Structure 1
Amino acid sequence: FQPWSKNSPTMFRILLAVGVLGSAFLAYRMQEPLPDYVQDKGIVTYVQSVFKILETLGRIVEALGLTTMEKFRQRAFSAIVPAIKNSSRLHSVEKQFAGSRTIVAWRPESSDGRAVPGSKPGIIYIHGGGWAIGAPEFNVNLISEMVERAGVTVFAISYRLSIEQRFPAAFEDSLAATRAIFDSAADFNVDPQRIGLCGDSAGGQLAASVAQALRRSAPELGDDWRRPKLQLLIYPVTQAASLRTESYLTQQAEPFLKPWQMADFISIYLTGSRAASDWLLKHGHVTAELRAAYQRATGLELQPSMLNEADSQEFAADADLAARVATSATDYRVSPLLGADLEKLDLPPAFILACEFDPLLDDALLYADRLERSGVRVQLTRFSTFHAAVGFPNDGREIRDRLVEILENQL
């Protein structure tokens, strides 16, 4: 009997409801005071409480051997996430691009919901969620803003999550879907020369890596014409080399993303489990090759390992896992910041939106600097808010306004 399988939705909902009711009070009482800069305090408190409830329940079911915390959490989120609704201002359909479920959304300009003939700008949106959770629908408000306010056609793609298949599955799906969207753009009245790439958080990493991949493969695979007009990166992950940057060390109690959570996400993405989380936090994964790649890319030295003797022995005992983490962290498909020869790629202009109260702030700053030094046109905008703020009414308003401005002026 497997209550978490797709064949037992009733049992899942019953257990989820019982667990939520039993955990709600505890999660609310455990809620940390929010910083003064948070504007949507009520909504943030509610959402963080839900996250804590699901995390607590996930750890319980994992301890019982029923499923992993991440799979439980994704299943629960999928059960409550709202669908994108068609209206007079937005029309959407589901399509498959290279096997990836994609929501195509546009602003209708006729009574039957169709777009009028003529080429429109498009944006390929890759959702975040630490590569482990999420779906295009998770950021329905962001998709709606891009469609309704900026007038672009949005292709919001899904990809295999790390709880299903570890790296490079998410990257491969994102790249294949992007190529297929370029090839089919005319079917949606979208000009392939006016298509941009966009992603938030882990989706920002995938967007940045896909932008590089298209340029690296341009001559060999005919990608020369598949050149995104821009890359729009919203508080992106840009490297897995250092989880001890200044922002990782100073932004440890901000809403929604903690350094230890980022370590879990990266570990699951690269290895399929949380086995490497502590090593990542303590720089136990750093090899001479990774240290050299980081210094070439940033001009900075990686902090030394903080592993104790027992940790070091455990890390050394699993040589395959250690090698996988270290090698993957130097790969541009994981760490676009460390990509080689960026100055030779003719990358599209980059618009990077970063949050001050975010462990990933330095990821954004370092990548902006690297791209600029590589001759890429870069515009970096910093916002006094937290990671994942883009979906919140007030805390994310300035981010959404800037995003719409970029799409209107650059596509």
Structure 2
Amino acid sequence: MVEPDASGVGGYGQMVLFLNTMDKPTLFEFMSRVPEDAGLSNTSLMVNGRYPNDGPVLPNIPGTVAGMHSAWKKYGSGKVAWKDILAPAIRAARNGYVVTEGLATTLSTEREHFLKYEGSRALFFRNGKPLVAGDTLKNPDLAWVLTQIADKGADGFYRGDVAKKYVDDLHGKGNAMKLSDMSRYFAPEREPVTGSYRGFTLFSSAPPVSGGADLVGKLNLLEQFEKPKMYSEDAATFHAMLASWSLVAGGRVADPGLWPVSLDGYLSKDTAKVRWRCYSPEHAVRPGDVRTDSGGCASANPAAARASSPPLELASASLAAKLASIAPEGPCGAEHAMEVEFCHAAGTTAFTVADADGNVVAVTQTLGTWGGNFYVTPGLGFLSNDKLTSYGTDPTQYGSRLPFARHGSTLAPTIAFKGKKPVFAVGAA
């Protein structure tokens, strides 16, 4: 509600949930979904091989409302009505809330994108100037949307007046979304990715998101470092942490309903032990070592291979030069150079909730970038995700833009246990 540039009903995310009556946590996945008619056969969504930089073409079907309602419906205590849960947000939208430094910064730095669109201007600008920190933002249109959701549950968003207004507007401006895409959306319950680290058991985000598996893989590597301290206070630990982040093996992660998923490279502690041979307390990890388990420093003679690694200061200079050489290919790096002209900072909301009875929820939700698609449908009062751009554009490519595909992400809401007791939770990306 109060971070409209980072999350909201037009967004998506994942929730890891544990109740004290459960043996282990569960997960609700509410990632965005490609509209049925927005597959790669629809060539109208890109112009000269590129997606628009902002606007109504970019949103996938949002998932946040379905995810939150599904979790409440199945696991809610029954003591708090759905209407009562939404009441504070409705009041804040109707009566107004104070603009934060974060929102003000987004509006200022991305003003050229917001200013293109009537609904965005009306909500976030006054006399052509963006709202600043300390201003009051009232959003009666969003209060109406939230009231529909409060009265009718998820159907208040995915069916009925809100859905019709949303789809009519986006579809009329080039988006492929249909009412049937909205009504078909569901938020599946999945098994969280599970790992361990120094006696803790971790439960984190699941495919199509790679963040949970990636987190486990990095911690499997860092576990090989014998005496970690607080990284902010110890250079050796920080160096080991950077090496772990570089050496994680990876896997193949996309919508598990459409593609086979492989997490073995992330989750295997044996793989981590092999790849940790590439770690040296005196040298940086070489780029070539990241790409293989069988060559270079992961070979039978890792000591000799490590000795050939560049000293830390030379490696840093080499990396800086490499990044500089990549930058002209595209603002988001070479991987997306052919598809986008602008790259915006990622914007995300994360929160955790726990009580004295041992019930814990960790949520990460987002629009994708700060500002999402920068477009507000007049009369609805919310920004949408920009995730149509988060797929490959080659139809033979793993994770390509197929109808109904859920997009990938690095979201990583996580709950950690010591034995059978949850001890901490984080929302992360």
TM norm structure 2:
0.21
Larger relative helix fraction: 1
Rg larger in structure: 2
TM norm structure 1:
0.21
